[in-house]
Amino acid sequence: DAGVIQSPRHEVTEMGQEVTLRCKPISGHNSLFWYRQTMMRGLELLIYFNNNVPIDDSGMPEDRFSAKMPNASFSTLKIQPSEPRDSAVYFCASSLGQFEPQHFGDGTRLSIL
């Protein structure tokens, strides 16, 4: 049973470059979440989708961040332009619905130089 799949696992890029993170949720799950984890702030919700529709993007830090979910099996989180303070581990999670637990991928470790 495949879990949430994220790619790439690691990304190192220079400031100003565009970064695209990808996520494939668990098949049949209709809610998808993007989180960011840092030592200082812990896990923070950036945005979540229900049935491919963005529901709450209040956690997206700035206009430089955008997320899409073109279909039920794929989502992207894009940062353009990237800055060193965006360095963190980005997690994608999915769940069956509102009252169901969330299952996480193994994250993308992003370093912006």
Whether the Cβ atoms of residue 37 and residue 89 lie closer than 8 Å to each other: yes
Tell which one of 12, 18, 106, 111 touches another protein (CB under 8 A).
106
By CB under 8 A, how many residues form the interface with another protein? 23
Instruction: Give the residue ranges of DSSP H helices in 2-111.
Output: none
Considering the rule CB under 8 A, would residue 28 count as an interface residue with another protein?
Answer: no
User: Which tokens in the block code for residue 68?
Assistant: 């899409």
Considering the rule CB under 8 A, would residue 95 count as an interface residue with another protein?
Answer: yes
Whether the Cβ atoms of residue 34 and residue 48 lie closer than 8 Å to each other: yes
Best CA proximity match to 87, nearest among 71, 110, 64:
110
8 φ, ψ to 5°?
-75, 170
**Rounded-to-integer distance, Cα 50 and Cα 72, Å:** 9
Which of these ranges, 18-26, 62-70, 78-86, 105-113, lies near another protein under the rule CB under 8 A? 105-113
Tell which one of 15, 43, 68, 81 touches another protein (CB under 8 A).
43
Build a one-symbol-per-residue string for 44-83: x at contacts with another protein by CB under 8 A, - elsewhere. -x--x-x----xx---------------------------
Contact footprint for another protein (CB under 8 A)? 4, 31, 33, 42-43, 45, 48, 50, 55-56, 91, 93, 95, 98-99, 101-107, 109
